[in-house]
Amino acid sequence: MKQETIKTPEYTSETATENDNEMYSLKHWNKVDTTWVLSLFGTAVGAGILFLPISAGLGGIWPLVVMTIIVGPMIYWAHRNLARFVLSSSIPNANITDVVEEHFGMGAGKIITLLYFFAIYPILLIYGVSVTNTVESFIVNQMHMAAPARWLLSLILIGGLMTIMVTGEKLMMIITEFLVYPLVIILFGLSIYLIPEWNFSSVSAMPDFGTFSSTLWLTIPVLVFAFNHSPAISTFAVKQRQHYGKNAVEKSDKILKVTSSMLLCFVMFFVFSVVLSLSPEMLAEASALNLPVLSYLANVQESPFISYFGPLIAFVAIVSSFFGHYLGAREGLNGIIEKQTRSMGKKVKPESINRFTTWFFFITLWIVSIVNPSIIHMIESLGGPIIATILFLMPMYAIKRVPAMAKYQGAFSNIFITFMGLVAISSLVFGLV
């Protein structure tokens, strides 16, 4: 949730000064809007984009073409609906857990808050595994040193990330804002750098309908995961309400449209560039090694540029996204604890809750990083489907049931988003069977 990097006063557009209105102009694009786009972009670009080429490329180039056509509207409409859901609250500065309780009651609020937490928490686990594997691979393959004990390496890496969070969000905000800009530039530069390596032999290889449809179906959760910036949407929507009041929906729609377009161009260009540079056999090997695709490229490419910048980009992408998702997961877990203690008639200090969540995340991230489960399997079976429930289906249910969102009924986008959400969730059922 990197949007917290924007230092803004707590006021609405109705009470803003003339200078403030100029800074937060509804009609004109401004510097703050650009910062929001970069913050949301940084939240989305993490482990998902580094594993998307592996999952999507195994089925050939043509499923990837279809994904490119559907992912733009799918991601924009889904995040737009979630932002509108948060903005539908009658409570000033209400975050997503407050809005859920307001619209659906305390009982349903607990369930959906729990789902919100489990939509983000597996992503943190994925990042813990990813950052450990990325650094370990760099030590072995680029530095030509023996791999350190995994429990110690993961302890240092997870401990370092958690220390930054505990030290204070200001330090985290400075680091994440600093990381996003080079990440955008280097990611685009690497995509161009790989162009001479492109092999178009896969273009003529048309998969049969069964392979084509199954590849597309099972890749949808990874696609949802790779473009997901929902952990940032709650605070993003709250800030838009503070700045623009009743015009917050219009402004947030514009910012999210630019964010989705930027993600579509950068992410899919990167995915196509990588998939065209590697054979299906190489992608399968990367999957078996449980490595981000950039770390795998660094190991098989002779270019010093790829060897050193590949793991660096992977590390920066994972770290920059880790912080935003950590704040989202903490918001969800804190909401669960607060609602449960309130229903029991007890009151717990926020400091005590934050201390518990910090240790909970540190210990579980460390344990899972040592175990090293399959990242792609975690994305397909946990991350993507649960994110789809919160991001795709919950706002659709609210449009049907909540009077404040009734004005959004009847749009084609509702049918499309509901269908894609069900497709993503059905892959979880398929995996369990």
More confidently predicted of 341 and 19: 341
Chain centroid to CA 423: how far?
Answer: 19
- What are the sequence ranges of the domains in the chain? 33-432
Gyration radius (Cα) of the chain, Å: 21
The answer to whether 369 touches 129, Cβ cutoff 8 Å, is yes
Residues 33 and 409: their CA atoms lie apart, in Å, by 28
pLDDT score recorded for residue 8? 36
Task: Give exposure, 337-355, as e/b (b: 16+ Cβ within 10 Å).
Answer: bbbeeeeeeeeeeeeebbe
Sequence-ordered list of residues with C-beta below 8 angstroms from that of 360, at least 6 positions apart, any chain: 333
- CATH code for residues 33-432: 1.20.1740.10
Residues 128 and 225: their CA atoms lie apart, in Å, by 16
The answer to whether 366 touches 154, Cβ cutoff 8 Å, is yes
Lowest mean pLDDT among 12-21, 193-202, 283-292, 345-354: 12-21
Helices (H), 31-168: 31-44, 47-57, 61-87, 96-137, 150-167
Task: Give exposure, 406-427, as e/b (b: 16+ Cβ within 10 Å).
Answer: eebeeeebbebbbebbebbbeb
H and E: helices and strands count for the chain = 18, 0
Residues 132-191 pLDDT 10s:
988 998 898 888 899 899 999 999 999 998 888 777 666 666 666 677 777 777 778 888
Selection from 192, 189, 187, 185 nearest residue 273 by Cα: 192
> How wide is the angle at C-alpha 418 spanned by C-alphas 413 and 422, nearest 5°?
150
Give phi and psi for 193, each to the nearest 5: -60, -30
pTM to 2 decimal places = 0.78
| Residue 399, pLDDT above cutoff 90 | yes
Residues 12-25 pLDDT 10s:
444 444 444 445 56
Residues 118-144 pLDDT 10s:
878 888 888 888 889 889 988 988 888
Token pair 């009924």 is found at 409
